[in-house]
Structure 1
Amino acid sequence: MSPMSNASAMDPTELSPFVYWSQTKHTLLLKVDLKDAKGVIADFTPTTLSFSANGHGARGRNAYKFQLRFYEFIDDETATFTVTDHKIELMIRKVEPAWWVRLVATPQKPHWLRIDFDRWVSEDDGELNDPPRDVREDYVEEYSNLQKQEIGYVRENAKKVYLVIYNLAMFVGYLHILIIIGVLYLRDGTASIKHTYEYVGTSFKFVQLMQYMEVMHPIFGYSKGSPLVPFFQISGRNFVLFLMIEMEPRMHDKPVVCYVFIIWSLVELVRYPYYVSQLLKRESALLTWLRYTIWIPLYPMGIVCEGVILLRSIPYIEETKRFCVDMPNKWNSTFDMVLFLKVYLLLLALPGSYLVMSHMSKLRAKKLGRGRAKPKLN
């Protein structure tokens, strides 16, 4: 029997690198996972490939080799390989243009031979000049099963993994804040309200600053939409949190601070799980309904609480002249923070609240449909 009769007929003591393959109707592309490869030898025949090289692979720096008997004939005279710092790529043309059902002649493939999912196309995808298609979107279930068979688990896109982790972390952050507020209330009753900022103020400042990551997501293509919308929403909250509450110790024990923390946290406690469900394509009717309904009572309550905080801050700013700029100065200009807050209050109470509420109402009508019934819990 010829030593090449089996794709894996090799000395068991020899080391083989991981090899990833993909195809088009006319070509095969093999990617050998070896870094800093030296002494690369690739011998082709019309039906076989013998490869050897020294490089850094799965077993560290060693001598690696493998042999393949192809499923059909290849053009061994035009086969080429390219060596880079991180891999070796072999470009091979098929003698007869066709889609191969597998790479090797035998149904049992070597354990080190894998599918190159980043380059994989199917017969329906056409040639390189055709409009690009993504097999992961065309055949979601089949692609998932194929990944599980090849690597034992479903390999997710790095952006998707990051977004899931980010949203889960933010959910845990706001849940942590609500749990602390709840535990304090159960222990101390209404007396705990004035200590809310003392216990959760630092945590709330952290999660609110972390939300600026949502401004960066659309900039880097991690999410759709404009970065301006989350920027203004997050900055509006942080204006109240950092300038009106944090900078004025006399505001820390006001009950309205506790109320606004609870309202903001309840909104996020629904929003972030909803985003995770969308990323994982596991949409829940109840969660979707909550996402586009809970704002109806909470947004007006939040706007009222923010307005009360601004009103309560005005006397303190008048007294301390904090953030105010008086003449004379080197800029030859003035800034009256009290006047600014009064204008800001008018914008928040009238056009600001109308724009936010109408925007959410349109989203709710689009997502849930007008007159759609509330989902059942059971």
Structure 2
Amino acid sequence: MAGKTEKPKSGPGAIGKLYLIAYNLILVIGWSYVLCLLTRSYLTDDFKGQTLWDTVRNSLFIFQNAAVLEIFHAIFGLVRSNPVITTFQVLSRVMVVCGVLLATPPTAAASSIGLPIALFAWSVTEIIRYGYYFANLISFVPHFIVWLRYTTFIILYPIGVTGELLCFYAAQNYASANPSLWSYTLPNSWNFTFSYNYFLIFVMLLYIPLFPQMYLHMFAQRKKILGTPASLKTQKIDHSTKAKM
């Protein structure tokens, strides 16, 4: 009986690979810059007289929205990520930046304690994540980068979600006090109504079912890549035994 012929794994061509290398490297640099701005904003007087939002707004807008390209990377097969999961991950942050921070006055969500919390978690996470992708593309992946990629999320992901929800909460408080903000009320020729305030509440409630799913998915990925502590211990024993033989 003839064996089954395995289909070759799809992936980016030479041009696609060069593009992904440049894309990931640029975003490592970009998020490093955002983290630098965040740090300098609190530890130095370099931006005296400016709020944190004034300092990071343009850079955050550019580098966070650049992640939208990842959805297309997944759809067109440049990477092997799940397009649906990628879309949820990307749009949640884009919503925070464009639909919350930029959509409300600087004295609302952008003044929330959630902003520095989210910025810290996002920037560290993205530096590691894009650095990991870059290392894979050039076929040089030190184990510590793999470990960071599949371990730091355990702390950083809940921190980031906390920051995001605090920004949402601040924006929702402002929208509640200003119900006409980004809202469309009846009666109108379209016979359609939209409440920005209730939309924010709806999105916040979505975190309840979605956060555990995404978090557990990342743990599953961690187990797949790093294995369980017991399996890692077994591997070390096996390697040491072979070395003695």
TM exceeding 0.5: yes
1:169 aligns with 2:26: yes
Distance 1:317 1:132 in 2: 55
Look up the match of 1:58: none
1:354 aligns with 2:212: yes
Distance 1:216 1:301 in 2: 27
| The structure with more radius of gyration | 1
Q: How many residues align?
A: 220
Look up the match of 1:104: none
Structure 1 length as normaliser, TM-score? 0.54
In the TM superposition, 1:90-105 aligns within 5 A as: none
Look up the match of 2:88: 232
Distance 2:216 2:49 in 1: 32
In the TM superposition, 1:241-280 aligns within 5 A as: 241-249=97-105, 250-251=107-108, 252-280=110-138
Distance 1:292 1:279 in 2: 17
The CA deviation string for residues 12-45 of structure 1, in whole angstroms up to 9 with x for no partner, is xxxxxxxxxxxxxxxxxxxxxxxxxxxxxxxxxx
1:370 aligns with 2:231: no
**Structure 2 spans left out of the alignment, 5+ residues:** 234-245
Report SS of the residue matched to 1:322. Answer: coil
The CA deviation string for residues 114-167 of structure 1, in whole angstroms up to 9 with x for no partner, is xxxxxxxxxxxxxxxxx8999xxxxxxxxxxxxxxxxxxxxx922111111110
> Pairwise CA RMSD of aligned residues?
2.4
Distance 1:266 1:192 in 2: 24
Distance 2:132 2:43 in 1: 29
Report SS of the residue matched to 1:222. Answer: coil
Change (3 A) 1:279 1:247: same
Deviation at 1:339, TM superposition (A): 2.2
Deviation at 1:253, TM superposition (A): 3.0
Change (3 A) 1:168 1:337: same
Change (3 A) 1:230 1:181: same
Higher RCO (C-alpha under 8 Å, 6+ residues apart): 2
Structure 2 length as normaliser, TM-score? 0.82
Distance 1:256 1:199 in 2: 16
The CA deviation string for residues 185-213 of structure 1, in whole angstroms up to 9 with x for no partner, is 22149x97972110111000001121111
Deviation at 1:268, TM superposition (A): 0.2
Bigger mean CA offset, 236-245 vs 358-367: 236-245
Distance 1:180 1:248 in 2: 22
Would you say the 8 A contact 2:114–2:165 is kept in 1?
A: no
Distance 1:253 1:341 in 2: 17
Change (3 A) 1:253 1:342: closer
1:208 counterpart letter in structure 2: Q
2:101 counterpart letter in structure 1: I
Report SS of the residue matched to 2:51. Answer: helix
1:306 counterpart letter in structure 2: E
The CA deviation string for residues 247-299 of structure 1, in whole angstroms up to 9 with x for no partner, is 21213333321221111111001001100111122121100000000100011
Would you say the 8 A contact 1:197–1:258 is kept in 2?
A: no
Distance 1:271 1:315 in 2: 33
1:297 aligns with 2:168: no
Look up the match of 2:72: 216
Deviation at 1:338, TM superposition (A): 2.1
Would you say the 8 A contact 2:28–2:131 is kept in 1?
A: yes
Distance 1:315 1:325 in 2: 18
Identity of aligned residues (%): 28
The CA deviation string for residues 93-132 of structure 1, in whole angstroms up to 9 with x for no partner, is xxxxxxxxxxxxxxxxxxxxxxxxxxxxxxxxxxxxxx89
Look up the match of 1:337: 196
Change (3 A) 1:241 1:174: same
Report SS of the residue matched to 1:328. Answer: coil
Greater fraction of residues in strand: 1
Change (3 A) 1:193 1:272: farther
Greater fraction of residues in helix: 2
2:24 counterpart letter in structure 1: N
Look up the match of 1:24: none
Would you say the 8 A contact 1:256–1:305 is kept in 2?
A: yes
